[in-house]
Structure 1
Amino acid sequence: MPFLPPPLDSVVTLNTCSLGLYEYYRDLQRGTPVFRNEDGVVYLARHEDCLRLLSDPAFSRTAPGSDLPFSAGEQAPGVLESMIGRWMVFMDPPDHGRVRKAFAAPFRSAAVKSLESLVRRQVRDLLACWPADGRLEVVDDFAFALPVRVIALVLGVPLADIPRIHAWALGLTTALDSGTPEALGEGEGVARELAEYFRGLIARREQLPDDCLINRVAATAGANLSAEEFLCGCMFLLWAGHETTKNWLASGLLLLAQHPRQLARLQSQPELLDGALEEMLRVESPLQKLSRWSTVDTEFAGYPVPAGTLVTALIGAAHRDPAVFTDPDCFDIARRNNRHMAFGAGIHHCLGVWLARLEARIAFGELLPRIRHLEVLDYRWRDLSAFRSLESLEMKVELKC
């Protein structure tokens, strides 16, 4: 059995020091790219192994003997666990394909293109409210504000309800990530409130815009979904539809401030923007780990993994694999062949990837040409292990007139 590294979560949650996190990943790459922790979970740090785990149908989202992504226990699942079990991202075929198809239409590439004017209008509205002195809290005032407005408008959620959504989203993220009894207890309350909120929206959907996702799914795919699948699917899209993009925008702006030469190059060569956005995802992946259950006896790099084992891909480590990425610790906006897995891989590849890319492209495309001065005043990472998320990011971003 390979050497057991220090407990993963005790290291990864020290996100106040990103260098410590990535030094830890580097040590895994060199010494124990496959290891089992004391709870029996197998972790993978190599790009090749992580990609295989996420793409191979021999690995399942649901636990053995359960239709949920967790081990079957003696107690009946709570509201939060039941809700998560009906999220498409935690389903296996054939249910996964059926539910994903029901919600997919607004997120296909062609459909997303029609949202460009909507997204651009939201970005310009936010920039019009930029503080005169350039000082702002980037996470709440820009990185969260943009994608949550967009996904709310897509779903049909009133913008006036965004303050409540913000609190619910933070509660869900904490509960899903930490798994502590306290966080899960709070998550139960969040799940109940969010379910009640969406039941109300669905019940009065005739008052929502005709072309919103809630009405479109109800009209075209409702017969293929149970009432709970419809409800939980809407809840999932509201949360997932802004969480990744929020973290992408905030950490991306932080990276540019920390690398002024890269910022200057990007401002002088805007054609590099798409590649720069992908490099932001690689260097500070919003999602740091993803798990699957092995359904057959298998192995990774000669390390045996019996059927019924929970296996976790360390996405953040895979993005630093020198076998795939030249100078992996370097933030290079002109990097080519950027094979990151920030949006997952295989059949569970992120449904909203085209919308997220559109939002990021327009946000940075509108903001970067106007930046005269960019300065980090203070920032703090959230104490999470699965998500790479800034708790706060205070910056001075002076815009040109």
Structure 2
Amino acid sequence: MLGDFNLASPYAAYACLRQGPPLVWDANFCGGAWLVHRHSDVQASLRHPDLSVRRVGGWVSQAGAAPSPRLQAFKGLMARTLVFLDRPRHTRVRRVVNTAFSPKSLETLHSTIEERITQILLGLEQKLQHGPADLVDEVCRPLPALVMMDLLGLEQLPLAIFQVWSEQLARFIGQATPDVPLLMDTQNALLDMADFLGNTSNLREGGLAWQLLHDEHLSLHGRRERLAQSCMLLFAGYETSRHLLSTLFQTLLSDTSKLRSLQTQPENIPAAIKEVLRHDSPIQYTARRLMRDQHWHGQHLRKGQLLLLLLGAANRDPEVFTEPDELDFSRNNQAELSMGHGIHHCLGVALVHLEARLTLEKALPLLSRLQLGQGQRIDLPAYRGWNSLPAQLRESQ
């Protein structure tokens, strides 16, 4: 049912699902999956102890690649990242990585992020003086990449190379069913990333990546588990932020009343970010595998089957959100699920919000002077964001 849905607007497909049963089997999507779309069911599934996040082997098997030492190394790294670990291993690893996103850690990063934003916006404004500029290329892609490199303490990584690595991983994770060429390209990207992060000369001594690799007091087991967490942080912290930033820009530049409301009441920026996350979630779905047979909503679900948890559908459930298709910056959004729920709630959610808030605070005066051109959405079903957002200064300026 979702295999051919409109990537430009999946919400029509979600509305159709809402008219039917709470569980729908789709034989084509992700090689076969139960679609879960109601808010209460998605939220419960995100917390359910009998559902597993381990699914790297399924991705690789679907692609049908021949076994090789490099493919085995790729699977070993991916399977050890925090996002694909179940309890109790997840609890042990998350406790280590959590410290990087504590309020104290983010406070030390605050001024660095502000400096990055100031430099990026200055470069954007200078470019706009000479003609159109792409907001994605100039702001949404470089900012979160640079912030994650600052956070991890990477000294020698060119921005363009990191973006190629990360966006290749996103193409793999964001596709419903990867093929062999996609798998091979992603294998090479992840192993290259791990090689870089495993070379101490590329790391700032005492930085997070250096600590994850060398600090023997951390409860991380083996070199691959240590490298896997740095790879995961570098990738995950980039993808969510860049998609949120692009959606914020597109939303505000397409609705001058919303833009003006934030200019006159900047204290509402955090609420606006939460509402944009709910209204057009950067991550549209996540998945869980059944660890045992169970009956649910009158259906017999078998061990090993996949549940596709439609975060984008849950965030527009009219049972939870009044007029859910409307963008309302005054809405109470405590129930939105864009960043997950339970033990796998997004580790860097506070950083994502901080980047977005500081960016809007500094960018609002410039945004009011811009005219948006025809943008292009990314074409991955798991993600919502923009590949390009061309803009230019208004002629009256």
TM over 0.5: yes
Q: CA deviation at 1:279?
A: 0.8
Unaligned runs of 5+ in 1: 1-5
Structure-2 residue corresponding to 1:285: 281
Q: CA deviation at 1:399?
A: 12
Identity among equivalent pairs (%): 28
Structure-2 residue corresponding to 1:46: 38
CA contact (8 A) 1:370 1:399 kept: no
Structure-2 residue corresponding to 1:3: none
Quick one: structure 1 residues 51 and 160, their matched pair in 2 at CA, closer, same or farther if it must change by over 3 Å? same
- Structure 1 window deviating more from structure 2 (151-160 vs 273-282): it is 151-160
Structure-2 residue corresponding to 1:270: 266
Please tell me the residue identity of whatever aligns with 1:209. R
Structure-1 residue corresponding to 2:75: 81
**Counterpart Cα distance in 1 of 2:326 and 2:240:** 22
**Counterpart Cα distance in 1 of 2:296 and 2:135:** 41
How do residues 285-304 of structure 1 correspond to structure 2 at under 5 angstroms?
Answer: 285-304=281-300
Query: What is the CA deviation profile of residues 35-62 of structure 1, one whole-angstrom value per residue up to 9, with x for unaligned ones?
Result: 0112441111111111111111121112
CA RMSD of aligned residues (A): 2.4
TM-score (ref. length: structure 1): 0.89
Match 2:13 to one of 24, 41, 61:
24
Structure-1 residue corresponding to 2:207: 212
Match 2:140 to one of 131, 138, 143:
143
Please tell me the residue identity of whatever aligns with 2:100. P
CA contact (8 A) 1:292 1:310 kept: yes
**SS of 1:343 mapped into structure 2:** coil
Give the total of aligned pairs.
383
Unaligned runs of 5+ in 2: none
**Counterpart Cα distance in 1 of 2:58 and 2:349:** 23
**Counterpart Cα distance in 1 of 2:253 and 2:188:** 38
Q: CA deviation at 1:398?
A: 6.2
Query: What is the CA deviation profile of residues 214-252 of structure 1, one whole-angstrom value per residue up to 9, with x for unaligned ones?
Result: 233332644533100111111111111111000000011
Quick one: structure 1 residues 211 and 195, their matched pair in 2 at CA, closer, same or farther if it must change by over 3 Å? closer
Please tell me the residue identity of whatever aligns with 1:98. R
Quick one: structure 1 residues 132 and 259, their matched pair in 2 at CA, closer, same or farther if it must change by over 3 Å? closer
Match 1:163 to one of 137, 143, 160:
160
Asked if 1:309 is matched to 2:305, the reply is: yes
**SS of 2:191 mapped into structure 1:** helix
How do residues 110-149 of structure 1 correspond to structure 2 at under 5 angstroms?
Answer: 110-130=104-124, 131-133=127-129, 135-149=132-146
Structure-2 residue corresponding to 1:357: 353
**Counterpart Cα distance in 2 of 1:372 and 1:278:** 21
CA contact (8 A) 1:33 1:46 kept: yes
Structure-2 residue corresponding to 1:95: 89
**Counterpart Cα distance in 2 of 1:247 and 1:260:** 21
CA contact (8 A) 1:47 1:318 kept: yes
Match 2:25 to one of 3, 11, 36:
36
**SS of 1:234 mapped into structure 2:** helix
Please tell me the residue identity of whatever aligns with 2:145. V
**Counterpart Cα distance in 1 of 2:211 and 2:302:** 43
**Counterpart Cα distance in 2 of 1:49 and 1:316:** 13
- Structure 1 window deviating more from structure 2 (132-141 vs 161-170): it is 132-141
TM-score (ref. length: structure 2): 0.89
**SS of 2:19 mapped into structure 1:** helix
